[in-house]
Structure 1
Amino acid sequence: MEVFPAGVMVFPTVPSDPSGVRWRMAKINLISGFLVLLYASIIRTHATDTLSANQILRYNETIVSPLETFELGFFNPGNSTNSYVGIWYKKISNRTVVWVANRNTPLTDTSGELTLTFQGVLILRDATKGNVVWSTANSSTSKSSMRTPIGQLLDTGNFIIYDEGDSINQEDPIWQSFDFLTDTLLPGMKHGWNLVTGTERSYTSWKSDDDPGLGEFSYWIDTRGYPQLILSEGGEIKLRAGPWNGLRFTGTPTLSPNRFYNFTFVINQREIYYQYNLIDTSVITRLVLKPSGRLDRLLWIDRKQEWSLYWSPQYDLCDQYALCGPFGNCNIEKSPVCECLKGFEPTSPDQWKTTDWSQGCRHTIPLDCNPGEGFNKYSNLKLPDTRGSWYDQTMTLIECEKMCKRNCSCTAYTNSNISGTRSGCLLWFGDLIDIKTNAENGDTLYIRMPPSELDSIANGKSSGTGRVQVIVPVAFVVLTILISMCLFYRFNMKKQQQQGTPRSVNEDLELPLFGLRTILKATNNFSMNNKLGEGGFGPVYKVML
């Protein structure tokens, strides 16, 4: 190339190409290159629903479920600059995250890389530092004959890892995000326990809107006795939604059927869990535990482009765990709210008067395992804490009462399932904790009482199991005995006179006379243990003179 004055450039002469071959080849190469770039661009922008072994997912790259319902990738929560791997709704403008992988180990920049290994382990690395931030290594099911592990995001919001060569792949995944809840319960998620693997599925609030780390509040299923739903704060029980009664949790009377979703609670040898599923599949709903501890059921309103509150449990002062102490009942309609159940009295009257109810209540007449002990029926209650309780899902209520009565440490019983014909048996032992009056949709509880405190005896009414018991007042028994003795004496006197052989009073009276004090002592105050039966003149007692 020759140099000419400033501003002028002269290019070397290109050899002539009479046939135009070179020009056509250049044109073909140009078009081919453009197509390659276009294809690569499409591959980068169109995310698939799977993650293959050794494939790397980086910041600003995502995978999307088949119907584009959910999306998985990196995100920054709220105003935070920290980076997390999560799952959110794809078609909702207001990004709503429903699951977080590394919630307690955030990335401080955008150097994160998510990879699936050939062993089926999902690993999140910090590419800058080269360290592993989070992985499923300790929570994946081991597969000795694994061939081709695949990670797939489903339209349920569940990310699963399975062996592509396994015929039951998606039904028996190596790992799934649904087993590790964050703060959200989606349709189809199981909240509870897998008893075979020992996996607990509970959800915990975020620390704040900017931090998805483990917060203070957690909803979980307690299986130490009959399963019950508990909300804890900082490791301590804040309130109990209570045990499942076949229709709802006993502490959430407002939980009822609706046209959007149904719900169930499953108890068997393999699993114990609560679950809800959509009736109307066009509805987008989620159950979320807020950083404040509030549990909200939200519905997405597309027209308004916002989440709307559909349902939230209505808690009050009486939902505070064990507020009224053992055998104490909390009634929000009364002031003060704590009271002792009928047949009970404050354990510490002085403290009770100052609204210190921690000591609770005790039986007015202590139990002593007397065979005459029975059960009073209490209605419209939130059932007591079931930790340490016993249950059988097949027994009848009558069988349940008999079992409780045979065990002197059994303090109460009820049906475990009130739906349909009522079935199942639930027994309590020791103190009854955290009882509350539910004016609407309350449950029935049968509490053990001494003979003199039984409603069925005092009122002559049938008990909860349909049997009728009758009590004869002591004065009436004594009067009956005296009248019987007088009638016997007169009968003997009349007989003697007819035979013409009158005798003295002491000779005619063959039975000795006893005072009331002697009779009470001889019958142990007319104890049920001394009762032999009943005849035309009333009860018959065995005496020890």
Structure 2
Amino acid sequence: MVVLLNSRPCFVVLILLAAFSCFSPRLCFGEDRITFSTPIKDSESKTLLSKSGVFRFGFFTPVNSTGRLRYVGIWYDKIPVQTVVWVANREAPINDTSGVVSISDDGNLVVTDGRNSLLWSTNVTVPVAPNETWVQLMENGNLRLQDNRNNGEILWESFKHPYSSMLPRMSLGINNGTGENTGLTSWRSYTDPSTGNYTVGLVAFPFPELLIWKNKVPQWRSGPWNGQVFIGLPDMDSLLNIDGFNLNNDNQGTVLLTFANDSFLYHFNLDPNGAIYQRDWSTSMNDWRVGVRFPSTDCDEYNRCGPYGSCNYREDPQCKCIKGFVPRNNTEWSLGNWISGCVRRAPLRCERVKNGSSNGGKEDWFLKVQKMKVPVNVQPSLANAQACPKVCLDNCSCTAYAYDQGIGCMLWSGSLVDMQSFLGSGIDLYIRLSHSELKAHSKRAVMITALVLGIVFVSAVCVLLACLKLKKRPGEPKKDRSVEQLLKRMEEVNSGDEAASNQVKLEELPLFEFQVLATATDDFSLRSKLGQGGFGPVYKGKLPEGQEIAVKRLSRASGQGLEELMNEVVVISKLQHRNLVKLLGCCIEGEERLLVYEYMPNKSLDAYLFDPLKQKILDWKTRLNIMEGICRGLLYLHRDSRLRIIHRDLKASNILLDDNLNPKISDFGLARVFRANEDEANTRRVVGTYGYMSPEYAMEGLFSEKSDVFSLGVILLEIISGRRNSYKKDNYPNLLAYVWTLWNEGEAASLADPSVFDESFEKEITKCVQISLLCVQEVANDRPNVSTVIWMLTTENMDLPEPKQPAFITRREKSEGESSDQSSQKESINDVSLTSVTGR
């Protein structure tokens, strides 16, 4: 920073301020960068502090260590529990405080001791003079060596050379382009940062998996990645989705795993004991709070039960042979030594033919084993779900098959190793058995079925008697027919999705009494009114226990009706994500239809973006956070929730902002639930908002994940520019046309809202414009999916594809009786946006 001094008094004041600040080491040495002329000397206790104030870089001694060895590393600042996330000279500590971190004569970052011996170096070829490179500690904890002459080109960064910790925005995996294979390595002990025995990293296999090794021997595996989760993790649907994990596989040899989180006080660490811990800082506990842990049980140990053995940590003994198999060594098995595994009780047909048993007898069959961690060494097949069993049966070496929607048909040959039985998740595994095993299995099945039917019959009789007793009670209010319709609608959704039935049931969603909501909103008075839209008015309320709520009240004149209300209740009651608005309950009494939401004091996104005063509150960092949050909420809808949901009305007024300006997607009245095998649907009733609609939806009624991606792209452009999608300039019909012209002229960064534009953000802004244009391409198949959008937003220095021309959807003239988007005339409400059920 350059300071211009116009007078001697001003100069004196600055000198005095500088002298005063040096009484505090943090004020004096709070810089976030090292240059050729400003090294860090341990003797001066100098360190770097990131702009976020979260990370510090410099010399440290591990806590509880017996010696006074000095290491150079990065740790969390202002946290009483010393937590080091990266170490440079882990194999060459310094015995005293003579160490120096500096830019060497060849432009590298180096660590030297008092004798000027080189202990560690970034060791890259630097194409410039040493005084042209500098090192900066970024706000996310990434240490960078940069070229000062070439637009800050990154020559080296600690995120590409991690040690034991994975921080938000960091990538692990294999980069085919650079040949890098990035993983984590444990410390030798909790007081010794030198290289430990454990490593963790991604392997490509046929499908990417995460593995932990001890001295290069596998200790744990995550199971294959199916495009959403690792299918070998217990409770896989709830673990990695929450933490914002994303895996990018280009099928050309590059497989990279990243995760993003709103807080930098959050990380994954490979501990010296060989376990991966997810930790986040708890202010109330004043300590790190441990979330997930892998391995988490004894059954997670790789190949614990040997071939054809399955592990279940809830049972004793934990290891059992799969049906149709017996222990290879009964003595060892009874003593709890299961590593030798199990063997078949009866040979398969191909083996019988091979041994000369005429034609081998009857065909083999498959035993269905539910909720399993699939074995190692899976082989892919192009067969669909129906053909998968036959492909395995026709191959004598095939011993099992499974089918996953995200992966497809999976086959196994030879012994089945590293299987585990899960409780709440897992894959149905079909294991090949001899036909002779079918008879024994059938007898057991008949006995079990008879027992179950008996229990069901007795239960049904008890329920019937209870219902008859309740029916005779006098004065019982008759259930509203609309509530019965709502219950029926929920049952219909659940009946088509077995997984969904395990989620929130409608009976668990509070049904508010109308009088309670009337009292909470001061009888729906004007001073409680938050806004008005296609659904009807929305009111702010306060429940007797003090909770603030927002109440949507269906207007009789509304274009929406019971169908949309039921749809929203059914859909949103099953969703739980930090970037989705939370539905607290509903009310259906007589002609009244109301929905009750959590109250959002910061209104909707459009109320900030398009207000000349409020838009200044949304600085560039906040806008990036909002973009990522919207993407993560949409990813949850598309891929990570138990229901696959297409929103169909994504727009700025349907994005709410919480106390910390974090985004929450709202208004699911027009959402559509997709079944697992659906990718696209068609409707004659086009609903939503013109300007945000994809061309294939507006013109042909086709909607899919990619139609939501189009709407997302429009919102991203509005966030970047602070302009509505209906923005017109010169001869440009809308914002998309204007942006496309700027892109082709190489002026994409000029799109940015002037209130947030800064030259230091120019490269980042241009990238965000490019990502947005990729989302609004005319052909749906050209658009990226949401997980790819997140990957592009959160990954630095990656080559993005060139966008093709977007679809220029112009706003049509409104016909009589058709609702129009009022957002250009009035501010939208703060708790939920309102949408007409006709295009507008």
Q: Return the TM-score normalized by structure 2.
A: 0.45
- 1:265 — aligned with what? 247
Structure 2 residue 385 is matched with structure 1 residue 397: yes
SS in 1 for 2:188: strand
Match of 1:449 among 433, 439, 459: 433
Alignment of 1:281-430 (within 5 A): 281-282=262-263, 284-313=265-294, 315-369=296-350, 372-386=363-377, 389-391=378-380, 396-398=384-386, 400-415=388-403, 418=404, 421-430=405-414
SS in 2 for 1:318: helix
Q: What per-residue deviation string (whole Å, max 9, x for no partner) do you get for residues 194-232 of structure 1?
A: 233332222222233322122233333333453322233
Q: What is the deviation of 1:176?
A: 1.3
Distance 1:208 1:198, change over 3 A: same
User: What is the alpha-carbon distance in structure 2 between the residues aligned to residue 241 and residue 220 of structure 1?
Assistant: 11
Q: Which has the higher contact order (CA 8 A, sep 6+)?
A: 1
- 1:181 — aligned with what? 162
User: What is the alpha-carbon distance in structure 1 between the residues aligned to residue 317 and residue 310 of structure 2?
Assistant: 11
Q: Is residue 276–residue 295 contact of structure 2 (8 Å, CA) maintained in 1?
A: no
Structure 2 residue 103 is matched with structure 1 residue 112: no
User: What is the alpha-carbon distance in structure 1 between the residues aligned to residue 246 and residue 89 of structure 2?
Assistant: 30
- 1:149 — aligned with what? 133
- 2:40 — aligned with what? 57
- 2:86 — aligned with what? 99
Distance 1:332 1:31, change over 3 A: closer
SS in 2 for 1:229: strand
**Aligned-residue CA RMSD in angstroms?**
3.7
Q: What is the deviation of 1:164?
A: 2.8
Q: Is residue 146–residue 163 contact of structure 1 (8 Å, CA) maintained in 2?
A: no
- 1:521 — aligned with what? none
User: What amino acid sits opposite 1:114 in the alignment?
Assistant: V
Distance 1:292 1:396, change over 3 A: same
User: What amino acid sits opposite 1:446 in the alignment?
Assistant: Y
User: What is the alpha-carbon distance in structure 1 between the residues aligned to residue 103 and residue 380 of structure 2?
Assistant: 44
Q: Is residue 35–residue 135 contact of structure 2 (8 Å, CA) maintained in 1?
A: yes
Match of 2:212 among 192, 217, 231: 231
Q: What per-residue deviation string (whole Å, max 9, x for no partner) do you get for residues 101-136 of structure 1?
A: 11121111111111224644221111x222111112
- 1:134 — aligned with what? 120
Distance 1:33 1:283, change over 3 A: closer
Distance 1:65 1:455, change over 3 A: farther
Q: Is residue 183–residue 199 contact of structure 2 (8 Å, CA) maintained in 1?
A: yes
Q: What is the deviation of 1:441?
A: 0.8
- 2:532 — aligned with what? none
Structure 1 gaps, min length 5? 1-26, 462-545
Q: Return the TM-score normalized by structure 1.
A: 0.67
Q: Is residue 373–residue 422 contact of structure 2 (8 Å, CA) maintained in 1?
A: yes
Higher helix share: 2
Match of 1:218 among 195, 199, 223: 199
Match of 2:71 among 84, 89, 109: 84
User: What amino acid sits opposite 1:432 in the alignment?
Assistant: L
User: What is the alpha-carbon distance in structure 1 between the residues aligned to residue 341 and residue 53 of structure 2?
Assistant: 56
User: What amino acid sits opposite 2:117 in the alignment?
Assistant: N
Higher strand share: 1
Distance 1:345 1:185, change over 3 A: same
Q: Is residue 120–residue 161 contact of structure 1 (8 Å, CA) maintained in 2?
A: no
Q: Is residue 202–residue 218 contact of structure 1 (8 Å, CA) maintained in 2?
A: yes
Distance 1:207 1:356, change over 3 A: closer
Which segment drifts farther, 244-253 or 206-215?
Answer: 244-253
- 1:209 — aligned with what? 190
Structure 2 residue 422 is matched with structure 1 residue 438: yes
User: What is the alpha-carbon distance in structure 1 between the residues aligned to residue 19 and residue 74 of structure 2?
Assistant: 28
Q: Is residue 260–residue 283 contact of structure 1 (8 Å, CA) maintained in 2?
A: no
User: What is the alpha-carbon distance in structure 2 between the residues aligned to residue 321 and residue 244 of structure 1?
Assistant: 17
Distance 1:50 1:446, change over 3 A: same
User: What is the alpha-carbon distance in structure 2 between the residues aligned to residue 273 and residue 413 of structure 1?
Assistant: 27
Number of aligned residue pairs: give it.
417
Whichever of the two has the greater Rg, that structure is 1
User: What is the alpha-carbon distance in structure 2 between the residues aligned to residue 244 and residue 192 of structure 1?
Assistant: 13
Q: Is residue 376–residue 456 contact of structure 1 (8 Å, CA) maintained in 2?
A: no
SS in 2 for 1:178: helix
Q: Is residue 305–residue 319 contact of structure 2 (8 Å, CA) maintained in 1?
A: yes
Identity of aligned residues (%): 32
